[in-house]
Amino acid sequence: MDRSKKPSAIGVGASLPQPSLSIKDNVIEASLPTGQSVAVNLYGATVTSWKVNGKEHLFVSEKAHLDGSKPIRGGIPLVFPVFGPPPQNHDTSSLPQHGFARNSNWEFLGKSAFEAPGSNSDQSHMNVKLDFGLSHSMLTDEFRQMWPHEFGLVYSVTLTKDTLETALQVRNDGQKNFEFQVLMHTYLKVADISDVRVKGLESKTYIDKTLQATSHTESSPALAITQETDRVYQNLDPAVPVIVASADDKPLFSITREALSDVVVWNPWIEKAKGMADFGPDEAYKNMICVEAGSVSGWQTLEAGDTWEGGQSIQARL
């Protein structure tokens, strides 16, 4: 059949400028006509850049390995199926810290662009979603042996005018139930950590990993970071934003979650930063704060054939 007269674009929004996409050296980059861009490295499906009008919002260490030899130190590494050092006598016991998702090669499944209606047609704009996949058969032999479950992950990275959304779908393709933890280990870029406060954590219980994993209750409505900080805040309402603000209360980022009720706040501070070979320069701990949305306090049990979904939406408020 002669399809030469096929319309090249159909429907509402066809006249709006379209997002652009480039694929180079294992990195997928998408840009919106409104001036935002996102870059995702297929190694770990790690988001390594999120820019709004040229301003970078994610921190990536200058010494980060971008060649697939080590998880990327910065951006948004995805932690799955275990957070931190795996417990003993568990399905995940032989895996490395934070599991295998951040150090596996993912597949790019494709891009979809869609119109986000504004209050009038002049304000309408395009969003773009990039999908990435990882399944049991794509793992290295070593990882397959360490975690012998048939699974499928679809990770969607959506860029809008003022948000970056990351969502994960976990499928159990096998015959047996499995347990997992998941976390989006977001390194937010900040100008100066002494001018940062984290809000939305007051009265919440947290495990302080710098104090032998003891349990505490957050007393501050606006948490300042003044030393090594490594806390797992538990049982938060995912719909209530965690806000990263300046000391004089200007919001910088606002993070809402779906099905992720824990939030880790991490800054390695001076000594730990110096001790990490891939963290640099040494002073860079001043330019980052990790606010990590996850489900890590317990385990999600996924029955054979079932699917779980969760995600975060980060709004840049600058």
Ligand X SMILES: O=P(O)(O)OC[C@H]1O[C@H](O)[C@H](O)[C@@H](O)[C@@H]1O
Binding site feature residues: 73, 97, 102
Q: Let me know if 288 is exposed, middle or buried by CB neighbors in 10 A (0-12, 13-18, 19+).
A: buried
Q: Is 100 in the site for ligand X (CB under 6 A)?
A: no
- How many C-beta atoms surround the C-beta of residue 212 within 10 A? 7
Tell the smallest beta-carbon distance from residue 230 to ligand X (Å): 5
Angstrom distance (rounded) from CA 261 to CA 250: 25
Task: Between 59 and 129, name the residue whose CB sits nearer to ligand X.
Answer: 59
Q: Is 290 in the site for ligand X (CB under 6 A)?
A: yes
Note if 292 is an active site residue: yes
Q: Is 230 in the site for ligand X (CB under 6 A)?
A: yes
Q: Which of 266, 284, 291, 295 binds ligand X (CB under 6 A)?
A: 266
Q: Which of 53, 97, 226, 307 binds ligand X (CB under 6 A)?
A: 97
Q: Is 288 in the site for ligand X (CB under 6 A)?
A: no
Tell me which residue of 152, 172, 183 sits closest to 83, measured CA to CA.
183
Q: What are the Cα distances from residue 230, in Å, to 77, 154, 233?
A: 17, 28, 10
Interactions with ligand X, residue window 198-217 (CB under 6 A): 209
Interactions with ligand X, residue window 142-171 (CB under 6 A): none
- Per-residue mark of binding to ligand X, 181-200 (x: CB under 6 A): --------------------
Q: Which of 34, 40, 98, 168 binds ligand X (CB under 6 A)?
A: 98
Tell the smallest beta-carbon distance from residue 228 to ligand X (Å): 9
* 62 alpha carbon, distance to own chain's centre: 19
| Closest residue to ligand X, based on beta-carbon distance | 266
Q: Is 262 in the site for ligand X (CB under 6 A)?
A: no
Catalytic residue among 115, 292, 303, 309: 292
Note if 90 is an active site residue: no
Task: Between 249 and 271, name the residue whose CB sits nearer to ligand X.
Answer: 271
Angstrom distance (rounded) from CA 152 to CA 232: 27
Q: Is 264 in the site for ligand X (CB under 6 A)?
A: yes
Angstrom distance (rounded) from CA 95 to CA 147: 7
Catalytic residue among 136, 185, 218, 283: 185
Amino acid at 52: V
- How many C-beta atoms surround the C-beta of residue 271 within 10 A? 10
Q: What is the 3-state secondary structure (H, E, C) of 8-61?
A: CCCCCCCCCCCCEEEEECCEEEEECCCCEEEEEECECCEEEEEEECCEECECEC
- Can you give the binding site for ligand X, defined by CB under 6 A? 71, 84, 97-98, 209, 230, 264, 266, 290, 292
Q: Which positions are annotated as active-site residues? A: 185, 292
